[in-house]
Structures are given as C-alpha cells and as structure tokens.
C-alpha cells in the first residue's frame, strides 16, 4: 500500500457537519484512553492499538473519536508513527457507510493544519480511491513499504 500526500491548505469544507445529530466527532480525552485503546485492539488489532496508545501520549491528544448515540463508532489518529502522518483510522463495521470515516479524516487533517502543517502523509493508505476522492490525496511514488519496512508483526515477536 502506497503512502499518499494531502494538501492541508486545500481541505474540503465538509466533514462532521454532514453527519446526523446522533453522530459526533471530537478529540478523545486522556481518561478515555483504556476504553478507546481496548475498543481499537478488539476490532483492528494490536498494531493499531499501539499507535492509539501513542496518540494519547500528548496534550491535546492526537486521536479523534466518533460517537454514535454516546457509543464509540470510530477513531482517527495523527502524528503517531511519524510526525506529519495521518492514521491509523477505523470505523466499526456496523457503522460504515454513514460518512463517519470521511468526517474523522477531515477533522484530523484540520487539526494537523491548525498545528502548522501544510501537508500530511497518509501512511500505507489502504483505500486509495477513498482518500483521493475525500481530500484530494495523491500517491507518493515508490513509497511502499515506506516507513513500515521491517516492522515487527505479531508472529515475529515470538520468533515463529
């Protein structure tokens, strides 16, 4: 999966405002750390949970969450694997197709823009077409595996 580049000075104005009144996007708070990280690990694995842990290590946190009727529905991190990187991000399978992922993406990128970044990198972008459509992201040539080369995987830690 390639890395992608996003021009933060050209973000669309849409985002969380398109969501229904029962869905909200906000920055996660430190007291929510264990709840959020456990939720992420259960649905998306240990790697993404580790990155979410890192997102909680600064103030303000570098993780946004989506809530549906007060329950966690999705998340998006920024500045965790490397400075200037967006991700990981995920939406609960039952909540997909409602615009939550796009709203999380745009809100996180807006936070990066407010922090002074002009560009963001989406590392190891899975849904390339989604990122291109949602925020005008473009593929970075020869960026696979990029920063993730040689990363430990769950089975590699035990030597199996």
Rounded to a whole number of angstroms, the CA Rg of the chain reads 15
pLDDT of 159 reads 53
- The answer to whether residue 58 is domain-embedded is yes
- The answer to whether residue 26 is domain-embedded is yes
pLDDT of 119 reads 98
Count of domains forming the chain: 1
- Token pair 């615009």 is found at 99
Specify the CATH number for the domain of residue 125. Answer: 3.40.630.30
pLDDT of 73 reads 98
- The answer to whether residue 73 is domain-embedded is yes
pLDDT of 62 reads 98
- The answer to whether residue 154 is domain-embedded is no
pLDDT of 13 reads 80
The dihedrals phi and psi of 12, each to the nearest 5 degrees, come to -70, 155
- The answer to whether residue 106 is domain-embedded is yes
pLDDT of 151 reads 87
Q: What is the pLDDT along the chain (160 residues), one digit of tens a residue?
A: 999 999 999 999 866 667 888 999 999 999 999 999 999 999 999 999 999 999 999 999 999 999 999 999 999 999 999 999 999 999 999 999 999 999 999 999 999 999 999 999 999 999 999 999 999 999 999 999 999 899 887 765 555 4
pLDDT of 160 reads 47
Residues in contact with 140: Cβ distance below 8 Å, sequence separation at least 6, in sequence order: 2, 3, 4, 5, 121, 146
Q: For residue 134, give its domain range.
A: 4-148
- The answer to whether residue 153 is domain-embedded is no
How many CB atoms are closer than 10 A to CB 76?
A: 29
């Amino acid at each position: 999966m390639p890395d992608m580049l996003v021009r933060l000075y050209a973000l669309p104005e849409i985002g969380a405002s398109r969501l229904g009144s029962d869905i909200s996007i906000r920055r996660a708070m430190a007291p929510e750390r264990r709840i959020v990280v456990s939720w992420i690990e259960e649905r998306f694995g240990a790697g993404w949970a580790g990155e979410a842990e890192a997102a909680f290590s600064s103030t303000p946190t570098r993780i946004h969450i989506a809530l549906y009727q007060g329950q966690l529905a999705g998340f998006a991190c920024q500045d965790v694997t490397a400075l200037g990187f967006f991700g990981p991000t995920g939406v609960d399978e039952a909540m997909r197709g409602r615009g939550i992922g796009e709203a999380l993406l745009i809100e996180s990128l807006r936070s990066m823009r407010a922090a002074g970044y002009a560009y963001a990198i989406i590392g190891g972008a899975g849904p390339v077409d989604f990122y291109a459509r949602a925020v005008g992201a473009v593929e970075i040539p020869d960026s696979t595996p990029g920063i993730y080369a040689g990363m430990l995987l769950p089975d590699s830690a035990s030597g199996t």
